[in-house]
Amino acid sequence: MLSQLKRIDVSRYSIYVILLVVVVAASLLSENFLSSDNIFNVLRQVAVITILAYGAMTLIIGGMIDLSAGAVMAFSGVVSVMVYKSTSNMLIAVLAAVLVGVACNLVSAFLVASLRTPAFIVTLGMMLIARGAVLELTQGQNVLQLGDFVLIGQGNLGWLPIPVLILIVVTLVIWYLMNQTRYGRSVYAVGGNEEAARAAGIPVERVKYQAFLVNGVLVGIAGVIFMSRVNAGLPNAGVGYELQAITAPIIGGTSFSGGVGTVFGTLAGALIVGVLGNIMNLIGIGSYVQQIVMGAIIVVAVAYDVFSKRGKAKTTILKSDAKGETVPPSGGATAAPPGGARTAS
């Protein structure tokens, strides 16, 4: 029995342990925390960021990044609101949001995958383009009187809030894509070692397009939920959301160097941030201190995660840089070998 317990790799579950500690601490600090109202409250609040975080996670695992998520979310959400106001058709409105998200991301994908421009720069540019476009479209004014559009963000299906239902469905779909499909394995391989993946016959450019496509769909869905939740089309919405979206997967064990990360780790990362924000509001901690705590938690969580995995990277395959020379991977995380083996957090 003891020997079996010893075989459990505790470090692999470190992020969930941290989440559990945060939840237990929160429930001790406030009697309201574990009420069903508050649990749904937290889940509603984290839905948008978590959906964006899955997109960010996909790109980071694939060795890319998206700095435009907040601005594209605002653009797609506002377009969706406008389409709904003129058609009164929810399906068309959601499709419009997804279309805008996908279009922006495919432009980024073309520049990143086909023209080999760094994703950081491309998506930084896309952030400005999307923000400018939505401000021009609305002339900086909020779009009001949304009618039944608010149902997606504020409605319930039975006892389950619709944003939470969407979050559950998206989580399962992304988990399936990343773990059970060739696409998912290819994303890990490309992010782990692009040259090796190419040598192994993986269509690297196509995988990058697909990763941006998935991100675009998620950003579009997030835009609809966001605008519906606040009952307005806000052109200046989502400022800084791209960084919050990146924070969740990083806390959840996704490696900035690519090739490493899990869907449930990202979910745990988003929940840690959401629960911390919630409990600090419940017990009346001001936003200045909240920022200090959030910053400290991010640093501690990532440091602990890296520390707990130290020494387990002995079988690391040497990464290849752009010139074909071998370099050791950084941060103690294992680089994925070509073919798709991956490290779970």
Partner 1 sequence: MKSLTRKIIGIGAAAAVAFSLAGCAVTTGNPTGGDSTDREAKDEYRVAYIARAQADSFAAWLANEMKSEAEKYDDITLEVFDGQADDEIENRMIENAIANRFDAVIIQANNADAQLPYIQQAIDAGIVTITTNPRVEGLTGGNSVDADPYKQGAVVAESALEAIPENAKVVVLNGPAGNFHSTARRDAWQKEFFDKRTDVEIVAEDIANWNKDEALTLMEDWSLANPQIDAIISMNDNMAAGALEAVKGKSAFDGILAYGVDGTPEAVLLIKDGTMTATSLQNARELAELNLKAVHDLLTGAETEVNTDIGNPLITVDNAQEYIDLYKEAGLITE
Q: Does 180 bind partner 1 (CB under 8 A)?
A: no
Shortest CB 37 distance to partner 1, Å: 6
Cβ-contact 263, 253 below 8 angstroms: no
Nearer to partner 1, 32 or 316 (CB): 32
Residues in the chain: 345
Distance from C-alpha of 39 to C-alpha of 193, rounded to nearest angstrom: 40
Place of tokens 């990464």: 319
Please report, as residue ranges, which positions from 280 to 339 form the binding site for partner 1 (by CB under 8 A). 281-284, 286-288
CA 193 to chain CA mean position, Å: 22
Number of residues that bind partner 1 (CB under 8 A): 35
Using the 8-state DSSP alphabet, how is residue 10 labeled? Answer: G
Nearer to partner 1, 99 or 225 (CB): 225
Sign of CA dihedral 30, 34, 40, 43: positive
Q: Does 149 bind partner 1 (CB under 8 A)?
A: no
Q: Does 128 bind partner 1 (CB under 8 A)?
A: no
Distance from C-alpha of 238 to C-alpha of 235, rounded to nearest angstrom: 9
C-alpha separations of 56 from 161, 174, 316, 335, 339 in Å: 24, 12, 25, 19, 22
Choices 119-127, 135-143, 254-262, 310-318 (CB under 8 A): range interacting with partner 1: 135-143
Of residues 185, 208, 229, 319, which one binds partner 1 by CB under 8 A?
229
Choices 30-38, 196-204, 252-260, 323-331 (CB under 8 A): range interacting with partner 1: 30-38
Nearer to partner 1, 107 or 232 (CB): 232
State the binding string over 236-265 for partner 1 (x if CB under 8 A, else -): xx----------------------------
Q: Does 226 bind partner 1 (CB under 8 A)?
A: yes
Of residues 37, 91, 322, 324, which one binds partner 1 by CB under 8 A?
37
Q: Does 44 bind partner 1 (CB under 8 A)?
A: yes
For residue 319, what are the β-bridge partners? 327
Q: Does 27 bind partner 1 (CB under 8 A)?
A: no
Q: Does 179 bind partner 1 (CB under 8 A)?
A: no
Supply angle C-alpha 105, 71, 261, rounded to 5. 60
Supply angle C-alpha 301, 305, 307, rounded to 5. 115
Structure tokens at 241: 């959301």
Shortest CB 146 distance to partner 1, Å: 11
Shortest CB 145 distance to partner 1, Å: 6
Q: Does 86 bind partner 1 (CB under 8 A)?
A: no
Distance from C-alpha of 260 to C-alpha of 265, rounded to nearest angstrom: 11
C-alpha separations of 248 from 49, 200, 261 in Å: 8, 31, 11
Cβ count within 10 A of residue 313: 15
Shortest CB 140 distance to partner 1, Å: 3
Give the binding site for partner 1 (CB under 8 A).
30, 32, 35, 37-38, 41, 44-45, 131, 135, 139-142, 144-145, 154, 226, 229-232, 234-237, 277-278, 281-284, 286-288
